[in-house]
Structure 1
Amino acid sequence: MTDHLLLSRLDLNLLVSLDALLTERSVTRAAERLHLSQPALSASLARLRAHFDDPILARRGNTYELTPLALRLADHTTTALEAARRVFESQAAWDPAESAREFTIYGSDYGFTTVGRLVSELAAERAPRVRFRFVLHNPSVVEDAANRLRSVDGMVIPHGFLTDLPFLDLWQDDWVAIVAGSNDTVGDVLSRDELSVLPWVMNYQTRSAFTSAERQVQQLGVEPRIEAVVESFLAIPQFVAGTSRVGIIHAALAPLAMRAADVRVVELPFAPTPIVNALWWHPVHTHDPEHAWMRALFEEAGRIIGSGETA
């Protein structure tokens, strides 16, 4: 039997189910992701198991794990699904003003409220039917970026977390500390003693999730007394206002923080290492003209932010 005849007998809808199952590692979550009933996705899993003669998902206690074959299929599945999507989205002549394409970008709330917001505004002016979907990343997404970026259009994240992927530098940002507006015990500059004594609000606290400024504090020999950990840069001012706490945020977020809560900006007792924000993507997208148009929007937005034209 030829490869063409074999392919014609396959239900390519199973590829979508397989991708969801491999990503979610749960029939329930995969069904929710695809907006299907659990029995419907269970039926697809049964067909996949029969086709591959493999369980795909194997129960281990109260959870499911991917079988060795499923682990090998993961890369091929996301690549095949993304390639199929690109095939059917492609047009002989792509006109941004007429396109209804959706671009999906991973990032943090910091990235979305800065460059993401501006990119969406630029796109709305030039391509009103184009849509952006901004999805919050997490440590597992960042650690698996080489695979996750096959099926989305990019990730906004500073240098220091990803390697061996194409990227576009956007703008450089600095770090500042914030304290409550009512905190009159701290002057315009935090002292090293105050870093040690004051309670902290931190953003992330794991071996793979941290900010460079928080790491610098520890490298100074200061072990912060952490009272709260929030996985949102925009939430930090709310946890600082009305308390004796200190937090560290990006300089680009400082105006927004002061509008959102009663906090003020103070200098750190050391020179924080600036960060360079970048847009990262999988090589499969590099020569896609629609993706190149999107990257140009991010480049323009990064230049505007870097010049200080937005606040």
Structure 2
Amino acid sequence: MAEDARYALDKCMWRHAMPCYGGRMSTPDLNLLVTLNALLAEGSVAGAARRLGLSPSAMSRALARLRATMDDPLLVRAGRGLVPTPRALALRERIGPLLREAEAALKPARQLDLATLARTFTLRTSDGFVENFGPRLIARAAREAPGARFRFALKADKDSAPLRDGSVDLDTGVVGAAAGPELRVRMLFRDRFVGVARAGHPLLDGEISAERYAAARHVCMSRSGQDRGPIDAALKALGLTRNVSTLVGGFTAALALARATDLIASVPERHTGFLRDGMQSFPLPVEVPGIVISMIWHPRQDADPAHQWLRGCVKAVCDEQLDADGGSGGSGLDPSTPASRV
């Protein structure tokens, strides 16, 4: 009997999905399940109609469709009411759980329980961002959502595909021209470029003019391998050319080389927040547009409560760190310059 009931229910759900003449397919009428559930619960056409907000005649037509589809009377007259057939009784065991599962799937997401959240978030960001803000982010997550884990992925480029396919949850950095127009962006802070040299470097002995700065040997960060950027454009306007001898893929590597050699590094000021002993930063001798660091995500994550929590945490820890450091270090700067090569 159970196998017969399972076959009958499958027939009810999918009969209308079978191929029709002409090759057309029609979708199953799942409303029939709701109708049958109400009829079995109420035991009468009038009661089922009231339960679903239908007229008795509409419910009678629905029952007729059910009988034709199932090839079974389903409910038969017994005095003033209706009683289910054996097949209908067997089907009732499956219809209830099916409808409850469908209702649960269509309900709004439950309120996020941070205490039980178990999820790994992938953040694509710079090593300097991790160094500056990672400790606060990890500490905050440990307090609020101890089951949350972070995977910090370094940025090889600004490709938006990882945000679209979900392999990256959140990106931080300067919004480049290649960013997809559908991406969501929220500013975190402004920054500006400064020069960095080892303590005792000859450039630090006296006024750092544009001429002396350009003549020094430089290490530059470039993901694309280009050896000219906004600083070089500013120097070119003065008839000067910077002596670039080394290119690296990240600002942390540039700082490491500047610390151990006579190379000059030019990096966002936030990257100098944890300068090692024996290093010194200085303002650039030319005007260079500042940058805006933002967090970037795909709109598919907008309504996800866990992702909303992540975005709130990142913004909060950035604000806290900036307040602790006395400000962003770059207030009012032009946000238009991508940090692809400086």
The residue matched to 1:97 in structure 2 has which SS?
A: helix
Equivalent AA in structure 2 for residue 135 of structure 1 = A
Contact 1:199/1:245 (8 A) holds in 2: yes
Contact 2:232/2:241 (8 A) holds in 1: no
1:186 aligns with 2:204: yes
Pairwise mapping of residues 1-311 of structure 1 onto structure 2 (< 5 A)? 92-139=110-157, 142=158, 144-145=159-160, 147-150=161-164, 151=166, 152-161=168-177, 162=179, 164=181, 165-187=183-205, 189-204=207-222, 206=224, 213=231, 216-217=234-235, 221-259=239-277, 262-309=278-325
Residues 279 and 219 of structure 1: CA distance in aligned 2, closer, same or farther (over 3 Å): farther
Residues 291 and 119 of structure 1: CA distance in aligned 2, closer, same or farther (over 3 Å): same
Q: How many residues in Structure 1 have an aligned counterpart in Structure 2?
A: 222
The residue matched to 2:275 in structure 1 has which SS?
A: helix
Distance in 1 (CA, whole Å) between partners of 2:311 and 2:216 is: 42
Contact 1:204/1:210 (8 A) holds in 2: no
Residues 94 and 218 of structure 1: CA distance in aligned 2, closer, same or farther (over 3 Å): farther
Greater mean deviation of Cα atoms: 175-184 or 111-120: 111-120
Distance in 2 (CA, whole Å) between partners of 1:291 and 1:208 is: 35
Residues 227 and 248 of structure 1: CA distance in aligned 2, closer, same or farther (over 3 Å): same
Could you say which structure has the larger radius of gyration?
A: 2
Distance in 2 (CA, whole Å) between partners of 1:296 and 1:209 is: 37
Distance in 2 (CA, whole Å) between partners of 1:129 and 1:188 is: 53
The residue matched to 1:176 in structure 2 has which SS?
A: strand
Q: Please give the TM-score of this superposition, normalised by the length of structure 2.
A: 0.57
Distance in 1 (CA, whole Å) between partners of 2:234 and 2:307 is: 36
Residue 232 of structure 1 deviates from its aligned partner by 2.0
Q: Please give the TM-score of this superposition, normalised by the length of structure 1.
A: 0.62
Distance in 2 (CA, whole Å) between partners of 1:182 and 1:293 is: 46
Residue 248 of structure 1 deviates from its aligned partner by 0.7
Contact 2:137/2:313 (8 A) holds in 1: yes
Distance in 2 (CA, whole Å) between partners of 1:258 and 1:130 is: 31
Residue 159 of structure 1 deviates from its aligned partner by 3.5
The residue matched to 1:257 in structure 2 has which SS?
A: coil
Distance in 2 (CA, whole Å) between partners of 1:132 and 1:210 is: 34
Residue 135 of structure 1 deviates from its aligned partner by 0.2
**Which deviations, in whole Å up to 9, do the C-alpha atoms of 1:187-233 show, x marking residues without a partner?**
46521112321110101163789875566455655432222211121
Residues 306 and 160 of structure 1: CA distance in aligned 2, closer, same or farther (over 3 Å): farther
Q: Moved runs in structure 1, 4+ residues, more than 4 A?
A: 207-221
Distance in 1 (CA, whole Å) between partners of 2:127 and 2:241 is: 26
The residue matched to 2:114 in structure 1 has which SS?
A: coil
Structure 1 stretches lacking a partner, 5+ long: 6-86
Residues 293 and 304 of structure 1: CA distance in aligned 2, closer, same or farther (over 3 Å): same
Contact 1:203/1:233 (8 A) holds in 2: yes
Structure 2 stretches lacking a partner, 5+ long: 1-13, 19-104, 328-342
